[in-house]
Amino acid sequence: MDDVVLLSVLHEAVDAIVVALRDHDDWGLSGGRDGQYVSDLVADKAVLTVFKRHGIQVLSEESGLVGEGDGSLIAVVDPLDGSTNASRPLPWFATSLCVVDDAGARAAVVHDHPAGVRYDALRGGGARLDGALLPCREPVELADAIVGVNGLPPRNPGWAQYRALGAAALDLCAVADGRLDAYVDYDHEAHGGWDYLGGMLVCQEVGVTVGDAFGRALVTTEHAARRTPVAAVGALFDDLIAARRDIS
């Protein structure tokens, strides 16, 4: 499957979720696993239907590894990232899809549901916001940085301000488009690949470095795997990695 077709499948999958949630009115807990909402399951059902039709295996936060295939292409899926926000309602939640192959993250789409805007990216092909190419990010000094975080920072490592918004995929996209200058996960083993891979590729395609705070590979298709992502440009990335490791 070539890149253009693959990206079109991702957009088709997101469109299916948008339709499924359009008239959805139960934003409460599902009664299944801890922290799972009915909306997570509605979105998951919609996205799985599309990937099954196209013969692509899926690693979903909600349903694990689904579908038949040789593993050469796996769509890593968070049907609704920030579903707690959605249940409140706080306008910061998204669908995040990223197809990985043996070379890493290949194609991604992140859809911001409240804003109705969409990011996409292809490995080596740049990143876009609603079809418009995003420019490469310029470096920012730590003292001037507005940093998105997950969890509670135990102290200020020297940044200007921080924000805890509650949806890693959108937080990373906000780094890519310049609304935030960096992102640091301060929680302990909180994020599966579905949380960050889509936003990671969007960031990478505009020159943002994204890495695990403890040096592990971020691209993983193991449902139980957890990582600690950090994202920034240039020396700011090194500063934040060092600060994050210092409190581990």
Dist. CA 237–CA 187, nearest whole Å: 18
Element (H, E) at 218: none
Range 2-17 average pLDDT: 97
Pair 67, 121 in one domain: yes
Pair 127, 157 in one domain: no
The amino acid sitting at 194 is W
Pair 83, 176 in one domain: no
Pair 98, 171 in one domain: no
Average pLDDT, the chain: 95
Work out how many domains the chain is built from and give that number. Answer: 2
What's the token pair of residue 204? 């990478």
Percent of the chain with pLDDT over 70: 97
**pLDDT one-digit tens code per residue, 77-133:** 999 999 999 999 999 999 999 999 999 999 999 999 999 999 999 999 999 999 999
Pair 62, 108 in one domain: yes
Residue 98's domain is classified under what CATH number?
A: 3.30.540.10
Residue 180's domain is classified under what CATH number?
A: 3.40.190.80
Range 58-79 average pLDDT: 91
Pair 21, 117 in one domain: yes
Pair 104, 173 in one domain: no
Split at pLDDT 50, 70, 90, the class of 76 is very high
Phi/psi-derived region of residue 7, left when phi > 0, alpha when psi is between -120 and 50, beta in every other case: alpha
Range(s) of the domain holding residue 184: 142-246
**pLDDT one-digit tens code per residue, 25-52:** 776 676 677 778 888 899 999 999 999 9
Pair 23, 120 in one domain: yes
Label residues 125-154 b or e (16+ Cβ within 10 Å = b).
eebbbeeeebeebeebebeebbbbbbeebe
Using DSSP's 3-state secondary structure scheme, residue 147 falls into strand
Pair 51, 119 in one domain: yes
With vertex at residue 8, the alpha carbon angle to CA 206 and CA 136, rounded to the nearest 5 degrees, is 10
Pair 178, 107 in one domain: no
**pLDDT one-digit tens code per residue, 133-166:** 999 999 999 999 999 999 999 999 999 999 999 9
Dist. CA 143–CA 126, nearest whole Å: 29
Pair 122, 173 in one domain: no
- For the entire predicted model, the pTM comes to 0.95
